[in-house]
């Protein structure tokens, strides 16, 4: 079958599906680019104001020294990347960053800690951060590694809005990227978060040397979760010297845009975030991502430990495109 001439019916616009097959997702990836963009943009409009972009700021509250071996990550203690292990930040320093993010237009403040899973004493401190950041009038998101049901409940009780835990890639390619925890571990943590009533932020990374089948597998898995993640970050690998993925062949930007568009079509009511990798992306590629249905970005000069476009550059780009921050 020629995927480029797929004539399968469009997904029902008023119905969220959780039974996406790989064949269906593959057919979407194989559509002619203009048709794919049209379908994605149509669903984007049906579910969101396409002129609005949700803006999040991400702060590393505990950097480096992580015992996991995610092959893309400069914070793993297993790779020599020059990132030093630091202690958990103090509450006042986190609040100062949150206030600055809010003053620059961010509506959500995301806090990331390089842990395999949080210890209970650390969770007490993170809960205090969540409570105080929320008191500033911002949404909160944390990413702390694997959680138990009890830990997820504690985060819910302190008012956490979102928990980020990415599937990263397809189940088949996953073992090439991480060996210290399994795909099922990730799905189990997502269950804990969902069961606790916290919104789920879950997506993946492309450009890690995976093939098209892996991008298909990743989107099909995300879109087949019992409830779609409310937030779906799609990251382009940021290559960091010292990590096993440094020197990887670069992904064609159109393949990245296609991944965004297919995520938008398969999870039409989710916020799709154009996440890491924007520093190396042209303005034109970013504009295509917005046309493909991306409606969130990370804002601020740093994403955990890697560079991100400065705020002025981002505001200038949003202005140029006639986009505005989501309230």
In whole angstroms, give the CA distance from residue 165 to residue 192.
11
Cβ at position 306, least distance to ligand SF4 in Å: 11
Give the helix, strand, coil percentages of the chain, each rounded to 5: 40, 15, 45
Three-class SS state of 239:
coil
Cβ atoms < 10 Å from Cβ of 281: 18
202 tagged catalytic: no
Residue ranges with strand state E in 114-190: 139-143, 162-164
**Residue closer to ligand SF4 (CB basis): 37 or 152:** 152
* C-beta of residue 77 within 8 angstroms of C-beta of residue 114: no
- Which stretch of DSSP H or E encloses residue 216? helix 212-223
**Residue closer to ligand SF4 (CB basis): 245 or 265:** 245
266 tagged catalytic: no
Residue 145, interface with ligand SF4 (CB under 6 A)? Answer: yes
**Residue closer to ligand SF4 (CB basis): 47 or 76:** 76
**Out of 57, 75, 235, 259, which residue is the one contacting ligand SF4 (CB under 6 A)?**
75
**Residue closer to ligand SF4 (CB basis): 68 or 97:** 68
Residue 238, interface with ligand SF4 (CB under 6 A)? Answer: no
Three-class SS state of 271:
strand
Contact range with ligand SF4 by CB under 6 A, out of 69-77, 200-208, 227-235, 246-254: 69-77
Site residue total, ligand SF4 (CB under 6 A): 8
Token pair, residue 187, equals 């799905």
**Residue closer to ligand SF4 (CB basis): 204 or 268:** 204
The footprint of ligand SF4 on residues 27-66 (CB under 6 A) is 66
Q: Which residues contact 161 (CB under 8 A, 6 or more apart)?
A: 108, 134, 139, 140, 141, 198, 199
In whole angstroms, give the CA distance from residue 37 to residue 289.
9
110 tagged catalytic: yes
**Out of 47, 76, 259, 296, which residue is the one contacting ligand SF4 (CB under 6 A)?**
76
Nearest alpha-carbon partner for 155 in 207, 111, 116: 111
Catalytic residue among 39, 66, 186, 264: 66
Nearest alpha-carbon partner for 80 in 306, 244, 308, 238: 244
Contacts with ligand SF4, 88-127, as mask; x by CB under 6 A: --------------------------x-------------
**Out of 25, 37, 43, 70, which residue is the one contacting ligand SF4 (CB under 6 A)?**
70
**Residue closer to ligand SF4 (CB basis): 58 or 73:** 73
Cβ at position 313, least distance to ligand SF4 in Å: 26
Residue 141, interface with ligand SF4 (CB under 6 A)? Answer: no
Cβ at position 63, least distance to ligand SF4 in Å: 9
Token pair, residue 150, equals 């009890």
Tell me the longest C-alpha to C-alpha distance in the chain.
59
73 tagged catalytic: yes
CA distances in angstroms from 157 to 61, 161, 197, 201, 262, listed in the order given = 20, 10, 10, 18, 35
In whole angstroms, give the CA distance from residue 152 to residue 282.
38
66 tagged catalytic: yes
Catalytic residue among 26, 39, 141, 278: 141
Name the residue with tokens 């202690």.
87
273 tagged catalytic: yes
Contact range with ligand SF4 by CB under 6 A, out of 67-75, 203-211, 273-281, 318-326: 67-75
**Residue closer to ligand SF4 (CB basis): 178 or 323:** 178
* C-beta of residue 242 within 8 angstroms of C-beta of residue 199: no
* Active site residue ranges: 66, 70, 73, 110, 141, 201, 273
List contacts with ligand SF4 (CB under 6 A): 66, 68, 70, 73, 75-76, 114, 145
């Amino acid at each position: 079958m020629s995927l480029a001439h797929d004539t399968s019916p469009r997904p029902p616009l008023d119905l969220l599906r959780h039974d996406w097959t790989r064949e269906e997702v593959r057919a979407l990836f194989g559509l002619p680019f203009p048709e794919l963009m049209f379908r994605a943009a149509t669903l984007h409009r049906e579910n969101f104001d396409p002129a609005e972009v949700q803006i999040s700021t991400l702060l590393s509250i505990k950097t480096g020294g992580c015992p996991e071996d995610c092959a893309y990550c400069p914070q793993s203690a297993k790779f020599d990347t020059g990132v030093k292990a630091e202690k958990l930040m103090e509450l006042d320093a986190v609040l100062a960053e949150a206030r600055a993010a809010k003053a620059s237009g961010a509506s959500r403040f995301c806090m990331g800690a390089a842990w395999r899973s949080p210890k209970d004493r650390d969770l007490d401190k993170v809960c205090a951060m969540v409570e105080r950041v929320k008191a500033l009038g911002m949404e909160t998101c944390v990413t702390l590694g694997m959680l138990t049901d009890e830990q997820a409940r504690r985060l819910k009780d302190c008012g956490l809005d979102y928990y980020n835990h990415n599937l990263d890639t397809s189940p088949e390619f996953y073992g090439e990227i991480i060996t210290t925890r399994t795909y099922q571990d990730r799905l189990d943590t997502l269950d804990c978060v969902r069961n606790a009533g916290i919104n789920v932020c879950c997506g993946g990374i492309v450009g890690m040397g995976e093939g098209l089948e892996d991008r298909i597998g990743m989107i099909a898995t995300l879109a087949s979760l019992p409830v779609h993640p409310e937030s779906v970050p799609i990251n382009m690998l940021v290559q960091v010297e010292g990590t096993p993925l440094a020197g990887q062949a670069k992904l064609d930007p159109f393949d990245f845009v296609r991944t965004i568009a297919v995520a938008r079509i398969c999870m039409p009511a989710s916020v799709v975030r154009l996440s890491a990798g924007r520093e190396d992306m042209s303005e034109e590629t970013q504009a295509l991502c917005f046309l493909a249905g991306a409606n969130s970005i990370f804002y601020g000069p740093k994403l955990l430990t890697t560079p991100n476009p400065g705020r002025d550059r981002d505001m200038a780009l949003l202005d140029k495109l006639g986009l505005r921050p989501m309230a």
